[in-house]
Chain A
Amino acid sequence: MDTKARLKQLLAEHMNLPDLCREDFNDDTPLFGGNLGLDSLDAVELVVVIKKYFGVEILDLEESKTAFGSINALAAFIDFRLPA
Protein backbone atom coordinates (compact mmCIF):
# COMPACT_ATOMS: atom_id res chain seq x y z
CA MET A 1 0.00 0.00 0.00
CA ASP A 2 1.46 3.38 -0.94
CA THR A 3 1.80 6.25 1.51
CA LYS A 4 -1.29 8.11 0.31
CA ALA A 5 -3.57 5.10 0.52
CA ARG A 6 -2.27 4.20 3.97
CA LEU A 7 -2.57 7.80 5.12
CA LYS A 8 -6.19 8.00 3.98
CA GLN A 9 -6.99 4.72 5.67
CA LEU A 10 -5.37 5.84 8.94
CA LEU A 11 -7.06 9.23 8.96
CA ALA A 12 -10.42 7.71 8.10
CA GLU A 13 -10.04 5.34 11.02
CA HIS A 14 -8.40 7.53 13.67
CA MET A 15 -10.00 10.84 12.84
CA ASN A 16 -13.41 9.59 11.85
CA LEU A 17 -13.17 10.82 8.29
CA PRO A 18 -14.85 8.10 6.23
CA ASP A 19 -15.21 10.47 3.26
CA LEU A 20 -11.48 10.13 2.64
CA CYS A 21 -11.97 6.58 1.42
CA ARG A 22 -14.64 7.48 -1.11
CA GLU A 23 -13.48 7.02 -4.67
CA ASP A 24 -14.69 10.45 -5.69
CA PHE A 25 -12.84 12.22 -2.85
CA ASN A 26 -10.60 14.96 -4.18
CA ASP A 27 -7.15 14.45 -2.67
CA ASP A 28 -6.38 18.13 -3.19
CA THR A 29 -9.12 19.17 -0.75
CA PRO A 30 -7.67 21.38 2.03
CA LEU A 31 -7.38 19.45 5.30
CA PHE A 32 -8.24 22.50 7.40
CA GLY A 33 -10.79 25.16 6.66
CA GLY A 34 -12.42 23.07 3.97
CA ASN A 35 -15.23 20.56 3.85
CA LEU A 36 -13.58 17.93 6.02
CA GLY A 37 -14.62 19.65 9.23
CA LEU A 38 -11.20 19.48 10.86
CA ASP A 39 -10.46 22.19 13.41
CA SER A 40 -7.26 23.42 15.04
CA LEU A 41 -7.36 20.82 17.78
CA ASP A 42 -7.51 18.10 15.15
CA ALA A 43 -4.06 19.26 14.07
CA VAL A 44 -2.83 17.81 17.36
CA GLU A 45 -4.42 14.47 16.54
CA LEU A 46 -3.05 14.59 13.02
CA VAL A 47 0.50 15.22 14.23
CA VAL A 48 0.21 12.35 16.70
CA VAL A 49 -1.14 9.88 14.12
CA ILE A 50 1.55 10.72 11.57
CA LYS A 51 4.31 10.44 14.15
CA LYS A 52 2.94 7.15 15.45
CA TYR A 53 2.41 5.37 12.14
CA PHE A 54 5.02 6.95 9.86
CA GLY A 55 7.63 8.13 12.37
CA VAL A 56 7.51 11.59 10.81
CA GLU A 57 7.20 14.62 13.04
CA ILE A 58 5.46 17.77 11.84
CA LEU A 59 6.02 20.59 14.28
CA ASP A 60 7.62 23.26 12.15
CA LEU A 61 5.04 25.91 11.30
CA GLU A 62 6.20 26.58 7.76
CA GLU A 63 6.50 22.90 6.96
CA SER A 64 3.08 22.21 8.39
CA LYS A 65 1.48 24.90 6.25
CA THR A 66 2.67 22.98 3.22
CA ALA A 67 2.09 19.51 4.59
CA PHE A 68 -1.44 20.17 5.82
CA GLY A 69 -2.47 21.61 2.48
CA SER A 70 -4.19 18.44 1.32
CA ILE A 71 -3.93 14.66 1.37
CA ASN A 72 -1.68 14.82 -1.66
CA ALA A 73 0.58 17.39 0.01
CA LEU A 74 0.71 15.45 3.26
CA ALA A 75 1.54 12.16 1.53
CA ALA A 76 4.29 13.87 -0.45
CA PHE A 77 5.67 15.43 2.72
CA ILE A 78 5.72 12.07 4.50
CA ASP A 79 7.42 10.39 1.54
CA PHE A 80 10.02 13.16 1.47
CA ARG A 81 10.73 12.82 5.20
CA LEU A 82 10.67 9.03 5.37
CA PRO A 83 14.12 7.45 5.63
CA ALA A 84 15.23 6.02 2.32
Chain B
Amino acid sequence: MIHEDPASRDRERGAESDVKRPWTARSLGSKFQHQIFYTVIRLLGRYGAYLLLVFTVAWYVLFRPSVRQRSSFYLRRRFPRHNAPQRLLDCYKLCLSLGKVLVDRAVVGILGPKKLGCTLSDKEELHALLAEGRGLILVTAHVGSWQLGMASLYELETPVSLLLHRDQGDVDRHFNEHGDQAPPYRIIDPLGYLGGTLEMLQVLKAGQVLCIMGDRVMGGEGSTLTVDFLGGPVAMPFSPYKLASATTAPIAIIFPHTTGSNSYSLKVGGVLRVPPDLGRSPAAYLPYAQQYVQALEAFVRDYPYQFFNFFDMWTDPTSKPDSA
Protein backbone atom coordinates (compact mmCIF):
# COMPACT_ATOMS: atom_id res chain seq x y z
CA MET B 1 0.00 0.00 0.00
CA ILE B 2 3.01 2.23 -0.32
CA HIS B 3 2.84 4.70 -3.15
CA GLU B 4 5.52 4.38 -5.72
CA ASP B 5 6.43 7.41 -7.65
CA PRO B 6 9.13 8.17 -10.14
CA ALA B 7 8.76 7.98 -13.79
CA SER B 8 10.30 4.55 -14.25
CA ARG B 9 7.04 2.70 -13.82
CA ASP B 10 5.20 5.23 -15.92
CA ARG B 11 7.60 4.48 -18.70
CA GLU B 12 7.27 0.74 -18.21
CA ARG B 13 3.49 0.70 -18.15
CA GLY B 14 2.92 3.57 -20.49
CA ALA B 15 1.71 6.79 -19.03
CA GLU B 16 -1.76 7.86 -20.00
CA SER B 17 -0.65 11.25 -21.17
CA ASP B 18 2.41 12.72 -22.73
CA VAL B 19 2.95 14.91 -19.69
CA LYS B 20 6.18 14.09 -17.88
CA ARG B 21 5.91 14.06 -14.13
CA PRO B 22 8.53 13.04 -11.58
CA TRP B 23 5.86 11.22 -9.57
CA THR B 24 2.88 8.97 -10.00
CA ALA B 25 -0.14 8.41 -7.80
CA ARG B 26 -0.08 4.71 -8.61
CA SER B 27 0.11 2.37 -5.63
CA LEU B 28 3.16 0.19 -5.11
CA GLY B 29 1.08 -2.81 -4.10
CA SER B 30 -0.75 -5.12 -6.47
CA LYS B 31 -4.51 -5.51 -6.60
CA PHE B 32 -4.17 -8.84 -4.81
CA GLN B 33 -2.13 -7.27 -2.00
CA HIS B 34 -4.74 -4.57 -1.57
CA GLN B 35 -7.47 -7.19 -1.40
CA ILE B 36 -5.61 -8.95 1.41
CA PHE B 37 -5.65 -5.75 3.44
CA TYR B 38 -9.32 -5.12 2.71
CA THR B 39 -10.16 -8.66 3.80
CA VAL B 40 -8.16 -8.32 7.02
CA ILE B 41 -9.98 -5.07 7.78
CA ARG B 42 -13.32 -6.81 7.32
CA LEU B 43 -12.32 -9.82 9.42
CA LEU B 44 -10.04 -8.38 12.08
CA GLY B 45 -10.70 -4.66 11.95
CA ARG B 46 -8.31 -1.78 11.86
CA TYR B 47 -5.75 -3.07 14.35
CA GLY B 48 -5.53 -6.40 12.58
CA ALA B 49 -4.61 -4.51 9.42
CA TYR B 50 -2.07 -2.45 11.38
CA LEU B 51 -0.43 -5.66 12.56
CA LEU B 52 -0.12 -6.94 9.02
CA LEU B 53 1.14 -3.52 8.00
CA VAL B 54 3.99 -3.60 10.51
CA PHE B 55 5.48 -6.63 8.78
CA THR B 56 4.59 -5.57 5.25
CA VAL B 57 6.28 -2.21 5.65
CA ALA B 58 9.33 -3.84 7.23
CA TRP B 59 9.61 -6.15 4.25
CA TYR B 60 9.36 -3.29 1.77
CA VAL B 61 11.84 -1.12 3.68
CA LEU B 62 14.39 -3.90 4.10
CA PHE B 63 14.12 -5.64 0.73
CA ARG B 64 13.01 -2.98 -1.73
CA PRO B 65 15.89 -0.50 -2.14
CA SER B 66 13.66 1.71 -4.27
CA VAL B 67 11.44 2.35 -1.24
CA ARG B 68 14.42 3.51 0.80
CA GLN B 69 15.69 5.61 -2.07
CA ARG B 70 12.36 7.34 -2.64
CA SER B 71 11.96 8.08 1.03
CA SER B 72 15.50 9.36 1.33
CA PHE B 73 14.98 12.47 -0.79
CA TYR B 74 12.80 14.03 1.87
CA LEU B 75 14.31 12.36 4.92
CA ARG B 76 17.85 13.51 4.07
CA ARG B 77 16.53 17.08 4.07
CA ARG B 78 14.40 16.72 7.15
CA PHE B 79 17.01 14.86 9.23
CA PRO B 80 20.35 15.86 7.71
CA ARG B 81 22.39 14.69 10.70
CA HIS B 82 20.93 11.23 11.01
CA ASN B 83 23.25 8.28 10.39
CA ALA B 84 22.46 5.20 8.32
CA PRO B 85 20.62 3.17 11.03
CA GLN B 86 18.60 6.25 12.02
CA ARG B 87 17.71 6.83 8.37
CA LEU B 88 16.52 3.26 8.05
CA LEU B 89 14.31 3.79 11.09
CA ASP B 90 13.09 7.12 9.67
CA CYS B 91 12.19 5.36 6.43
CA TYR B 92 10.29 2.70 8.34
CA LYS B 93 8.39 5.30 10.40
CA LEU B 94 7.52 7.34 7.31
CA CYS B 95 6.30 4.32 5.34
CA LEU B 96 4.41 2.94 8.31
CA SER B 97 2.74 6.30 8.80
CA LEU B 98 1.64 6.33 5.17
CA GLY B 99 0.48 2.74 5.46
CA LYS B 100 -1.66 3.57 8.49
CA VAL B 101 -3.24 6.46 6.65
CA LEU B 102 -4.11 4.16 3.76
CA VAL B 103 -5.48 1.52 6.14
CA ASP B 104 -7.55 4.16 7.91
CA ARG B 105 -8.87 5.36 4.60
CA ALA B 106 -9.98 1.83 3.75
CA VAL B 107 -11.42 1.40 7.26
CA VAL B 108 -13.66 4.42 6.79
CA GLY B 109 -14.77 3.09 3.41
CA ILE B 110 -15.38 -0.48 4.57
CA LEU B 111 -16.50 -0.10 8.18
CA GLY B 112 -17.98 3.38 8.07
CA PRO B 113 -16.91 6.92 9.00
CA LYS B 114 -17.71 6.51 12.70
CA LYS B 115 -14.67 4.29 13.10
CA LEU B 116 -12.43 7.35 13.03
CA GLY B 117 -12.87 10.89 14.22
CA CYS B 118 -11.98 13.75 11.93
CA THR B 119 -12.14 17.24 13.38
CA LEU B 120 -12.48 20.33 11.26
CA SER B 121 -10.64 22.83 13.42
CA ASP B 122 -11.03 26.50 12.62
CA LYS B 123 -14.41 25.85 11.05
CA GLU B 124 -15.57 29.35 11.98
CA GLU B 125 -12.61 30.89 10.19
CA LEU B 126 -13.39 28.94 7.01
CA HIS B 127 -17.06 29.91 7.27
CA ALA B 128 -16.05 33.56 7.55
CA LEU B 129 -13.86 33.30 4.45
CA LEU B 130 -16.68 31.64 2.51
CA ALA B 131 -19.11 34.31 3.64
CA GLU B 132 -17.11 36.85 1.65
CA GLY B 133 -18.87 35.35 -1.37
CA ARG B 134 -15.83 34.98 -3.63
CA GLY B 135 -15.30 31.27 -3.20
CA LEU B 136 -12.53 29.74 -1.15
CA ILE B 137 -9.29 28.13 -2.30
CA LEU B 138 -7.90 25.54 0.07
CA VAL B 139 -4.25 24.88 -0.64
CA THR B 140 -3.10 21.68 0.96
CA ALA B 141 -0.30 19.14 0.46
CA HIS B 142 0.39 15.42 0.33
CA VAL B 143 0.46 15.19 4.09
CA GLY B 144 -1.51 13.33 6.71
CA SER B 145 -4.70 11.97 5.25
CA TRP B 146 -5.95 14.45 2.74
CA GLN B 147 -8.91 12.32 1.71
CA LEU B 148 -10.31 11.93 5.19
CA GLY B 149 -9.55 15.56 5.86
CA MET B 150 -11.36 16.66 2.73
CA ALA B 151 -14.33 14.50 3.66
CA SER B 152 -14.69 16.53 6.86
CA LEU B 153 -15.31 19.63 4.74
CA TYR B 154 -18.96 18.59 4.49
CA GLU B 155 -19.24 20.58 7.72
CA LEU B 156 -18.87 23.74 5.63
CA GLU B 157 -22.18 22.90 3.92
CA THR B 158 -20.79 24.13 0.61
CA PRO B 159 -19.89 22.01 -2.43
CA VAL B 160 -16.21 21.10 -2.53
CA SER B 161 -14.20 20.48 -5.70
CA LEU B 162 -10.81 18.90 -5.68
CA LEU B 163 -8.09 19.13 -8.32
CA LEU B 164 -7.02 15.52 -8.53
CA HIS B 165 -5.34 13.28 -11.04
CA ARG B 166 -5.49 9.51 -10.75
CA ASP B 167 -3.13 7.33 -12.69
CA GLN B 168 -4.76 4.88 -15.03
CA GLY B 169 -4.89 1.40 -13.59
CA ASP B 170 -4.26 2.46 -9.98
CA VAL B 171 -5.70 -0.29 -7.81
CA ASP B 172 -5.75 1.73 -4.61
CA ARG B 173 -9.33 2.69 -3.78
CA HIS B 174 -10.50 5.98 -2.38
CA PHE B 175 -12.56 5.44 0.73
CA ASN B 176 -15.89 6.11 -0.95
CA GLU B 177 -15.11 3.47 -3.59
CA HIS B 178 -15.42 0.57 -1.16
CA GLY B 179 -19.19 0.88 -1.34
CA ASP B 180 -21.68 2.76 -3.43
CA GLN B 181 -20.99 6.07 -1.74
CA ALA B 182 -20.74 9.14 -3.92
CA PRO B 183 -17.47 11.01 -3.43
CA PRO B 184 -17.87 13.83 -0.93
CA TYR B 185 -16.24 16.16 -3.41
CA ARG B 186 -16.31 16.82 -7.12
CA ILE B 187 -13.08 15.91 -8.87
CA ILE B 188 -11.49 18.18 -11.47
CA ASP B 189 -8.83 16.47 -13.58
CA PRO B 190 -5.77 18.68 -14.08
CA LEU B 191 -5.08 16.79 -17.30
CA GLY B 192 -8.47 17.80 -18.66
CA TYR B 193 -9.27 20.66 -21.02
CA LEU B 194 -7.04 23.65 -20.27
CA GLY B 195 -5.81 21.95 -17.11
CA GLY B 196 -9.24 22.24 -15.53
CA THR B 197 -8.71 25.98 -15.10
CA LEU B 198 -12.14 26.96 -16.42
CA GLU B 199 -13.84 24.46 -14.13
CA MET B 200 -11.87 25.89 -11.22
CA LEU B 201 -12.99 29.39 -12.15
CA GLN B 202 -16.59 28.16 -12.30
CA VAL B 203 -16.31 26.72 -8.79
CA LEU B 204 -14.99 29.97 -7.34
CA LYS B 205 -17.46 32.05 -9.28
CA ALA B 206 -20.24 30.01 -7.65
CA GLY B 207 -18.82 30.82 -4.22
CA GLN B 208 -17.79 27.21 -3.60
CA VAL B 209 -14.69 25.54 -2.21
CA LEU B 210 -11.79 24.57 -4.45
CA CYS B 211 -9.04 22.40 -3.06
CA ILE B 212 -5.60 22.27 -4.70
CA MET B 213 -2.45 20.43 -3.73
CA GLY B 214 0.15 23.16 -3.51
CA ASP B 215 3.17 20.86 -3.36
CA ARG B 216 3.04 19.11 -6.72
CA VAL B 217 2.71 20.22 -10.27
CA MET B 218 -0.13 18.18 -11.70
CA GLY B 219 0.67 18.27 -15.37
CA GLY B 220 -1.89 20.39 -17.13
CA GLU B 221 -0.77 23.42 -15.21
CA GLY B 222 2.78 23.72 -16.33
CA SER B 223 3.79 26.91 -14.63
CA THR B 224 6.03 26.66 -11.62
CA LEU B 225 8.04 28.86 -9.34
CA THR B 226 11.26 27.93 -7.65
CA VAL B 227 11.16 28.30 -3.88
CA ASP B 228 13.38 27.03 -1.09
CA PHE B 229 11.98 24.11 0.87
CA LEU B 230 14.01 22.40 3.61
CA GLY B 231 17.18 24.10 2.48
CA GLY B 232 16.99 23.52 -1.25
CA PRO B 233 15.15 24.85 -4.28
CA VAL B 234 12.01 23.04 -5.41
CA ALA B 235 9.48 23.70 -8.16
CA MET B 236 6.04 24.56 -6.84
CA PRO B 237 2.93 25.41 -8.85
CA PHE B 238 1.68 28.96 -8.71
CA SER B 239 -1.76 28.19 -10.11
CA PRO B 240 -3.55 28.56 -6.73
CA TYR B 241 -2.22 32.08 -6.31
CA LYS B 242 -2.98 33.06 -9.89
CA LEU B 243 -6.55 31.79 -9.52
CA ALA B 244 -6.85 33.79 -6.31
CA SER B 245 -5.63 36.91 -8.06
CA ALA B 246 -8.04 36.41 -10.95
CA THR B 247 -11.06 35.80 -8.74
CA THR B 248 -10.07 37.66 -5.53
CA ALA B 249 -10.94 34.48 -3.65
CA PRO B 250 -9.16 34.08 -0.33
CA ILE B 251 -6.75 31.19 0.19
CA ALA B 252 -6.63 29.06 3.32
CA ILE B 253 -3.61 26.80 3.76
CA ILE B 254 -4.73 23.56 5.38
CA PHE B 255 -2.86 20.42 6.39
CA PRO B 256 -4.96 17.39 7.38
CA HIS B 257 -2.96 15.31 9.83
CA THR B 258 -3.15 12.52 12.35
CA THR B 259 -3.61 13.80 15.85
CA GLY B 260 -3.92 10.54 17.74
CA SER B 261 -4.45 6.84 17.34
CA ASN B 262 -8.07 7.39 16.46
CA SER B 263 -8.37 10.89 15.09
CA TYR B 264 -7.51 13.27 12.31
CA SER B 265 -7.60 17.04 12.27
CA LEU B 266 -7.83 19.59 9.52
CA LYS B 267 -6.42 22.88 10.72
CA VAL B 268 -5.94 26.21 8.96
CA GLY B 269 -2.22 26.93 8.71
CA GLY B 270 -2.60 30.44 7.33
CA VAL B 271 -4.73 32.69 5.15
CA LEU B 272 -3.39 34.37 2.02
CA ARG B 273 -4.87 37.40 0.29
CA VAL B 274 -3.54 37.71 -3.25
CA PRO B 275 -4.13 41.14 -4.82
CA PRO B 276 -6.18 41.23 -8.05
CA ASP B 277 -4.72 41.68 -11.52
CA LEU B 278 -1.19 40.45 -10.79
CA GLY B 279 -0.91 39.35 -14.39
CA ARG B 280 1.09 36.62 -16.13
CA SER B 281 4.50 37.09 -14.59
CA PRO B 282 5.33 34.18 -12.28
CA ALA B 283 7.49 36.46 -10.13
CA ALA B 284 4.37 38.29 -8.97
CA TYR B 285 3.20 35.13 -7.20
CA LEU B 286 6.48 34.27 -5.53
CA PRO B 287 5.65 35.81 -2.11
CA TYR B 288 2.53 33.67 -1.83
CA ALA B 289 4.28 30.46 -2.86
CA GLN B 290 6.94 31.29 -0.26
CA GLN B 291 4.34 31.76 2.46
CA TYR B 292 2.83 28.40 1.56
CA VAL B 293 6.23 26.70 1.71
CA GLN B 294 6.98 28.30 5.07
CA ALA B 295 3.72 26.88 6.41
CA LEU B 296 4.63 23.48 4.95
CA GLU B 297 8.06 23.61 6.59
CA ALA B 298 6.44 24.40 9.91
CA PHE B 299 4.15 21.42 9.41
CA VAL B 300 6.95 18.94 8.68
CA ARG B 301 8.85 20.26 11.69
CA ASP B 302 5.88 19.32 13.87
CA TYR B 303 4.87 16.17 11.98
CA PRO B 304 8.00 14.82 10.26
CA TYR B 305 6.50 11.45 9.41
CA GLN B 306 3.34 12.77 7.79
CA PHE B 307 4.87 14.18 4.62
CA PHE B 308 4.23 11.89 1.66
CA ASN B 309 6.14 13.01 -1.39
CA PHE B 310 8.24 10.04 -2.42
CA PHE B 311 10.21 11.61 -5.22
CA ASP B 312 13.12 13.98 -5.54
CA MET B 313 11.47 17.37 -5.31
CA TRP B 314 14.90 19.00 -5.25
CA THR B 315 16.11 17.82 -8.66
CA ASP B 316 16.79 20.72 -10.96
CA PRO B 317 13.54 22.63 -10.44
CA THR B 318 14.37 24.97 -13.29
CA SER B 319 13.90 22.10 -15.74
CA LYS B 320 10.12 22.20 -15.06
CA PRO B 321 9.57 18.48 -15.58
CA ASP B 322 5.96 18.80 -16.62
CA SER B 323 6.17 21.83 -18.76
CA ALA B 324 6.10 19.74 -21.92
Residues of A within 8 A of B (CB): 14-16, 32, 39-45, 47-48, 58-59, 61, 64-65, 68
Contact = CB atoms under 8 A, between A and B. Distances in A.
14 contacts: A16-B280, A39-B195, A40-B220, A40-B221, A40-B222, A42-B280, A43-B197, A44-B197, A44-B243, A45-B242, A45-B246, A47-B198, A48-B277, A61-B193
Contacts of B197: 40-41, 43-44
Interface stretch (B45-53, B150-158, B199-207): B199-207
A48 B197 CA distance: 12
A68 B205 CA distance: 20
B246 A64 contact: no
A40 B238 CA distance: 12
B223 interface: yes
A65 B194 CA distance: 9
Return the 4 tightest CB-CB contacts between A and B, nearest first.
A40-B195, A40-B194, A43-B194, A44-B246
A41 B242 contact: yes
Given A41-B223, A65-B193, A47 B201 contact: yes
B280 A45 contact: yes
A59 B202 contact: yes
B206 to A, nearest CB: 10
A59 B243 CA distance: 14
Interface of B: 193-199, 201-202, 205, 220-223, 238-239, 242-243, 246, 277, 279-280
Contacts of A41: 195, 197, 221-223, 238-239, 242
Contact of A45 (B195, B221, B279): B279
Contacts, number: 56
A40 B324 CA distance: 12
A32 B222 CA distance: 13
A48 B248 CA distance: 11
B242 A44 contact: yes
Given A43-B194, A45-B279, 4 more contacts: A39-B195, A41-B221, A48-B246, A61-B193
B198 A39 contact: no
Contact of A14 (B205, B223, B246, B279): B279
Given A48-B246, A59-B205, A65-B193, A43 B279 contact: no
A58 B243 CA distance: 15
B198 A59 contact: yes
A45 B222 CA distance: 15
B168 to A, nearest CB: 20
B208 to A, nearest CB: 13
Contacts of B196: 40
Contact of B198 (A14, A15, A43, A45): A43
B134 to A, nearest CB: 14
Contacts of A16: 280
B225 to A, nearest CB: 12
Nearest to B200: A44
A82 B221 CA distance: 30
B198 A61 contact: yes
Contacts of B243: 44
Contact of B199 (A15, A48, A61, A68): A61
Contact of A64 (B194, B195, B220): B194
A15 B279 CA distance: 8
A39 B242 CA distance: 13
A59 B204 CA distance: 11
Nearest to A57: B205
